Amino acid sequence: MLQMSVRGDYATFNFNAISSSSSSDPLRRWLEGRWALLFSHPGDFAAAGFEADRWLVYVRDAFASLPVRPIGIGGGDGAGWISQTGGRLVPHDVAEDFLPAEVRETSEHFVTILDSTLRARRTLLYTPGIDVPCAIELAHTAAHQRTRGGSPSVRRILQGV
């Protein structure tokens, strides 16, 4: 379970965002009933250095054991950790189809929990570079959210000074 330290006020917005775009149909089929974590900036979560290979194994195993798949916004050659853990990269315009307006209109970094119909269930906004949430903890949070349901929301994680 993800433990978040929140300092000050944060906003919660209720919304219903369900994609009706045909461009997201292949993504729904790929999920096969699983939920997903959509990372706006997947590079924020990538481990670097000597332990990067070990980190990648742990992340791959965590996603394989849970009914959750990673999705990253972006393109490129797909060589990042998202594709190496069985995830998928999607173009920004496809991701916009199932994000709440509060997130679509911001340049902030976020992770969105999507259900199997690509409905945004929870969006966490974070500050890059300052105690970024762990991808494995986020995967467990998404799996927990899947079992208990809950109302969609957007939450700001205030970290650092």
Residue 146 lies in a domain: yes
What is the chain's length?
A: 161
Residue 94 lies in a domain: yes
46-70 pLDDT, tens digit each: 887 778 889 999 999 999 999 999 9
pTM of the model: 0.77
Question: If pLDDT is split at 50, 70 and 90, which confidence band does 96 have?
Answer: confident
Mean pLDDT of 69-73: 94
- Mean predicted lDDT score pLDDT of the chain: 77
Find the DSSP H helices in the chain: 25-31, 52-65, 81-84, 92-96, 101-104, 135-148
Residue 16 lies in a domain: no
What is the structure's pLDDT at 4? 35
- CATH, residue 34: 3.40.30
